[in-house]
Amino acid sequence: MRHWPFSTRRIKTELALIALFNLISFLLFVHFELFDKLDDWFHSHPDSSLDEVLLIGFTLAISMSIFAVRRLKEASSLLKALRRQAERDEVTGLANRRRANQALQRETERSYRSGRRYSVLLIDLDHFKSINDTHGHLIGDMVLQRFGKVLQRRARQLDTIARWGGEEFIVICPETEQQGALTLAENISALLKEIDVAPVAQVTASIGVATLTDDDTPDSLVHRADMHLYAAKQAGRNRVVGDAQTSEASQLQA
């Protein structure tokens, strides 16, 4: 696991060590009666002033403490910014695949504990490569950004929305059964009509929907959603395919 070059815990540890060092120094001065010896030395040198030296030392100690506290705050802010950057997609501002994988693991464990299943939507923008090739990557990025806003507007606050890779997105829906996830997918598909990025004529998407089963792992759940997404593309794109439709198709073939 890669570690950050610094952390709040490390800086706090350094400050604690500095405080401990100062305390030990003070105790040593008391134990060896160094304060009395210093006092005797200053009395034998009338040109020096113990009060002035102590004042200077106290001022330096306060200044170092203020500097250390400010450094701690700056480091904490930078650390938070770096963590946000590591978990965000730079084009859309959505969560990235790393954060999505963390959410999948978390929701799987929570579902097994609570008995409440969750669902996953895997979404692929249709013919996105053609948009990039025809109109350029700048227009392509604008389409991705607008689609990200559509997802944010339609999904719930507790859902995790992430760019899975390329033109693929994932929506992780806690405590959501298959029918609720299918309804969300259909609503997202309908909202795509509102994406207006000239000169792109129309934006559509294929969506695969899978709901956690007793035998699922995060990987198997996403794999099943990916299979449904592939089925949606094979059926002509611009449609939603979930566990129910795939089961019905399998029964008809049997």
Active site residues: 167
Between the two ends of the chain, the Cα-to-Cα distance in Å is 48
Output b/e per residue, 89-119; b: 16+ Cβ within 10 A. Answer: beebebbbeebbbebbeebbeebeeeeebbb
The length of the chain in residues reads 254
- Is 105:208 a contact under the CB 8 Å cutoff? no
Quick count: other Cβ atoms within 10 Å of Cβ 158?
Answer: 10
Residue the block writes with tokens 């997105």: 169
Burial (0-12, 13-18, 19+ Cβ within 10 Å), 241: buried
Using alpha carbons, list the distances in angstroms from residue 134 to 127, 128, 165.
11, 10, 20
Structural element, H or E, at residue 26: helix 8-31
With a CB cutoff of 8 Å and minimum separation 6, the contacts of 28 are 34
